[in-house]
Structure 1
Amino acid sequence: MIKFGTGGWRAIIADEFTFQNIRLVAQAVAIDVKNRGKEDKPIIIGYDNRFLSDTAAKLCCEVLGANDLKVLLINKQAPTPLIMYTVKKYEAVYGLAITASHNPAEYNGIKIIVEEGKDARVEDTKRIEEIIETIDKFKYITFEEGIKDRKIEIINPFNDYIDTIIKMINVNAIRDKNLNIILDTMFGVCKSTLLTILLTSRCNVEVLHDNRDTLFGGRLPTPTSHTLGKLQRKVIENNVDLGIATDGDADRLGIVCNQGEFIHPNEIMSVIYYYLLKYKGWRGPAVRNVATTHLIDKIAKSFGEKCYEVPVGFKYISGKMEEVNALIGGESSGGLTIRGHIKGKDGIFAAALLVEALCVTDMSVHDLLRKIHEIYGEVIFKEANLKFESKRKESLKNKIYVNKELPKMPYEVEKVSYLDGVKIYFKDGGWISTRFSGTEPVLRIFAEMDKKEKCLKVIEVFKEFLEL
């Protein structure tokens, strides 16, 4: 069963992520392209540092080339945002990014990118899933044949992508500050792009974990307070201005401030949105998902703007951004973008924009956050990821979403939403939400309150209610 979640199709290598299934996905994409009469447009293929990613990329090229489609393969390991940019630049019908993003090392997958460099919509992936069910064989040629017959072409879009970001940031302001930065690539793919941008802006940069390690050093390749211990220590030991980390495919950002404190992605988005409105004088609403801080709402309101709430999945954020001409869109997992850039999350661009904010304001991330909290108040955000046996998933879904059973909460409830999972809004402005992960067998609980104890209390109430 090949099923696409919020971040694409992800599966355990040699279990479901097999050569056979990779070829089935590519064949289904080829059939879909022909069914829609889009054979004149190319398909972009890119891949990350994971085990078998390069091999899987070539398998996709071989199948698509055998179906007489034009395939453009990015010449080396590439960040997902660069692949999205390349789909847009070449006006491609599809992009296939071979990645499992922040999942554990035993996973790999395929992320579908559609025209204009957008995350695939539910209807796009559903169409491909339905085609897969009808396929009993696939076409393929050897990679060498595809190159020789010019059905497969190798391209290098790195310079264009880097130059596009450099044009969108205030490089002169950054050059004047001569920042000292430590960059943790987390054994991922951001080095060739983000490091170039930072060095071009005359930052002094030390790089951690920039070699290829398909086990990601035994850590999850996601920038969190649990995985960035070494970066935090190095920031303190070397007295640097900023620590930056990106996840395995560089679409998510993690930040360590000059005091060695991990800065939550909610706060990164808040700082960048506030900076764009207050210091750059830009205007526009914000878009966030149901599991992202409401501090964004307060910032938007103070500047006469609105914040829109959407389901989890960046396709919903980018879609709403387009609809309301939003200035910024993001999520609590560390992905964001702004108007005028690609229509997907980009940890590389977000990092460059944050560096600009520090240089223009002449403040650290810690100082900017303190200023924001003085104006809007401080909120505490907590999350819990609860693993469960697969046989329990249906009963849990029925309990929460079908029967709509909820625990008795210790605080007064204002309303309940089932936009994505279930979200309970409290009258004092706090909230708690729970939803099933689209990529792992995990139930995610998020809560935001004005005090840490209240956050932990409502999470515990939900865990006991679900017996997890």
Structure 2
Amino acid sequence: MSGLGSDGFRGVIGDSFSWSVVAHLIAATLSYLDEQATPAGAPIPVGFDTRFLARHFACLVYLGLLQGKMKPTLSRSNIPSPYLSYAVRKLGAPLGIMVTASHNPAAYLGFKPKGPEGGSALPEVQMRIAELAASVRPIDMDPYVVFGPTLEFQHFNFEADYARALASLLATKELAQDRQLAVDFMHGSAFPLYGHVLEELGVSFIPVRIEQDPLFAGGNPEPVAGNLEELRSQVIAGATRSIGAAFDGDGDRLRLVDESGEVVPNEDIFAICLLHLIEDRNQRGRIVKTVSFSELIDRLATAFNLPVVETPVGFKHATRELMVPDTLAAGEESGGIGFGFYLPERDALLALLLVLEAMRMRGKQLVELRLELAERFGRSYFAHQDVPLSGRTDTRQVLRQMEELAASPAKVGLPDAVPDRMDGLKLRHREGFLLVRLSGTEPVLRIYCDDTTEGREWELVRRAVSYFSKQGSSRIAEDLDEEEAISS
């Protein structure tokens, strides 16, 4: 079954994500639970985000699981994905289902399974559900049944427990300093829950884009620099010590804006968390990062003699590593961060709280923490470009081009690079890497570059685009001209 991406199943609403698709996924999930000898009446929490029809599909998932003799519970309103993972663990559930498309454009929706450990379902679990979905008979249900006037749902509510759980992980309760915090919820499902938790912890903030808007004001709820102009304006117009934070559409990814109004690279956010845990809280352990993440993390780990484990893109791979004892934290290029002393799940709110704690305990502004990173571990310059592929672009041709480039990296100006095929094609060289991979959910070619020389990162991205366009994917060059290059 198509639609299995880096984490869960996603597609365009009414096309690759329809009632027929979801009916197959529900039946496949029930078949998987049966294979695992899951007893009847097992609790399964179901949540949803703010997207068009998300609540409707979540209700159908609930009813389908109920029909399959499970005991589902439904969130009362839209929730962030990390909270659903917490509910899975709290209930001792065999899994949970989050109806969300995370940071994807508004036309998308998804079916994201959560595992019993309280994180993304492991890769083999998601693959097995995909295999079953391709062969099982879909669940038999009228998709309009949710509009029945007498229909009642059982709900779960662990909001107070979730807030206490996060508070218990902090080394200090004095997070509030003489600073102003603006928080951009990007019209997503992190609001209102994350706002309530911040208030419980005494952290005041200025809310930005809290209105529920399934069209996300014409953009997509991904906290990249080009989508954060409103947040930057709030920070720049605020007090001298103002900073900003942004959560993606389902609240599992974080982005920050420092006191100067600059959008903080994700590698800096993860590195600040790591440095704080290592030096201020005396915690050690393995550091996990996705294959697309900056090598700033490797340099920091080397300085403290800590091992680094690299995984394919998709936090479901990091989830497995976070379950390994003595793992400190895991991070991904897109802003997801998880910690070994909590659930094996990325949680953007916990990451924000730890950054605020680092600022408090180290007595530094965010911009000063970034300068400290550069002085101690060197600068990294990271570029990420998503290039749309039109119907005229054959993905098989792109894969053939990757094979040719792996054999001859000099074609993009990296003659001494070492190819790595863990996920797409990664060309490792002395000053960084160039990574090219096809998206699992959208028709795009994703290009990443990390380098220690400023400007070289975008030059290598341009060379990669030129290589793939010259080799036959002619539409790629046209699409790049139409797209604004947005550094992540």
Alignment partner for residue 439 of structure 2, among 437, 440, 447? 437
TM-fit CA distance, 1:166 = 1.2
- Inter-partner Cα distance in structure 2 for 1:267 and 1:24: 41
Corresponding position of 1:253: 254
1:81, distance to aligned residue in structure 2 (A): 0.5
Which residue in 2 is equivalent to 1:135?
136
SS of aligned partner of 1:287:
strand
Q: Contact conserved, 2:409 with 2:427, CA < 8 A, in 1?
A: no
Larger CA deviation: 398-407 vs 110-119: 398-407
What displacement does 1:178 show? Answer: 4.7
Q: Which amino acid aligns with 1:258?
A: E
Report matched runs for 1:295-334 at 5 Å. Answer: 295-323=296-324, 325-334=326-335
CA distance in 2, matches of 1:403, 1:458: 13
CA-CA distance at 1:192 after TM superposition: 2.5
Residues 3 and 11 of structure 2 are in contact (CA less than 8 Å); yes or no, is this contact kept in structure 1? no
Deviations 1:148-172, CA, capped at 9 Å, x for gaps: 8x9x521112111111111112442
Shift of 1:73: 1.2
Corresponding residue for residue 31 of structure 2: 31
Aligned to 2:401: 399
Aligned residues: 464
* C-alpha distance in 1 between matches for 2:338 and 2:150: 35
Range 114-123 or range 306-315, more displaced = 114-123
- Three-state SS of the structure 2 residue aligned to 1:423 is strand
SS at match of 2:382: strand
The amino acid across from 1:3 in the alignment is: G
User: Quick one: which amino acid aligns to residue 200 of structure 1?
Assistant: E
Tell me the TM-score normalized by structure 1.
Answer: 0.94
**Counterpart contact for 1:181–1:241, Cα < 8 Å:** yes
Equivalent pair of 2:20/2:138 in contact (CA under 8 Å): no
- 1:56-80 CA distances to partner (integer Å, 9 max, x unpaired)? 0000111111111111212211100
| Contact 1:62 1:146 (8 Å CA) reproduced | no
- Distance in 2 (CA, whole Å) between partners of 1:406 and 1:440 is 28
Which of 419, 424, 430 is the aligned partner of 1:421? 424
| Shift of residue 146, structure 1, vs aligned partner | 13
The TM-score, its normalising length taken from structure 2, stands at: 0.90
CA shift for structure 1 position 425: 1.2
Three-state SS of the structure 2 residue aligned to 1:65 is helix
Deviation of the 1:122 alpha carbon: 2.8
Corresponding residue SS for 2:112: strand
Q: Structure 2 vs 1, CA of residues 251 and 465 (structure 1 numbering), >3 Å: closer, same or farther?
A: same
Q: Which residue of 1 aligns with 2:481?
A: none
Sequence identity (%): 26
After superposition, the Cα gap between the structure-2 partners of 1:436 and 1:324, relative to the gap in structure 1 and judged at 3 Å, is farther
Shift of 1:92: 0.9
Partners in 1 of 2:2 and 2:305 — Cα distance? 45
SS in 2 for 1:386: strand
Question: 1:410 maps to which residue?
Answer: 413
Whole-angstrom CA distance in 2 between matches of 1:132 and 1:172? 47
Inter-partner Cα distance in structure 2 for 1:188 and 1:376: 35
Give, in angstroms, the shift of residue 112 of structure 1. 1.1
Deviation at 1:133, TM superposition (A): 2.2
- The answer to which of 25-34 and 249-258 deviates more is 25-34
Residues in 2 aligned to 1:383 and 1:218: alpha-carbon distance in whole angstroms:
21
**Counterparts of 1:62 and 1:322, CA distance in 2:** 32
Q: Name structure 2 gaps, 5 residues minimum.
A: 470-475, 477-488
Shift in alpha-carbon separation, 1:137–1:249, aligned structure 2, 3 A = closer
Query: How do 1:321-400 and structure 2 match up within 5 A?
Result: 321-323=322-324, 325-390=326-391, 391-400=393-402
Query: Equivalent of 1:460, from 462, 475, 484?
Result: 462
SS at match of 2:174: helix
Contact between 1:66 and 1:139, CA under 8 Å: does it hold in 2? no
Residues 88-237 of structure 1: matches in 2 within 5 Å? 88-140=89-141, 153-175=154-176, 177-237=177-237
Q: Deviations over 1:30-59 (max 9, x none)?
A: 122123211343211000111101000000
**How far apart are 1:120 and its partner, in Å?**
2.0
User: How far apart, CA to CA, are the structure 2 residues paired with 1:170 and 1:282?
Assistant: 12
- C-alpha change, 1:38 and 1:430, in structure 2 (3 Å) is same
The CA deviation string for residues 330-368 of structure 1, in whole angstroms up to 9 with x for no partner, is 011000011121212111111111111111112111100
- Superposition deviation, residue 145 in structure 1: 9.3
Q: Matched residue of 1:260: which SS?
A: coil
Gaps of 5+ in 1: none
Letter in 2 for 1:15: D
For residues 17-96 of structure 1, what are the structure 2 equivalents within 5 Å? Answer: 17-40=17-40, 41-96=42-97
Cα distance in structure 2, aligned partners of 1:330 and 1:146: 45
1:446 aligns with one of 445, 448, 451: 448
Counterparts of 2:123 and 2:204 in 1: how far apart (Å)?
43
> Distance in 2 between the 1:123 and 1:402 partners?
30
CA displacement, residues 7-29 of structure 1 (integer Å, 9 cap, x when unaligned): 21111111122222222211211
Match of 1:238, as an amino acid?
Answer: G
SS in structure 1 at match of 2:65: helix
> How far apart, CA to CA, are the structure 1 residues paired with 2:414 and 2:51?
45
Deviation sequence 1:171-212 (CA, Å, 0-9, x none): 42214x253211111001222332223223323311011111
Q: Partners of 2:281 and 2:355 in 1: how far apart?
A: 13
- Partners of 2:299 and 2:401 lie apart in 1 by 33
In the aligned structure 2, how far is the partner of 1:337 from the partner of 1:200? 22
**CA distance in structure 2 between the partners assigned to 1:34 and 1:324 by the alignment:** 30
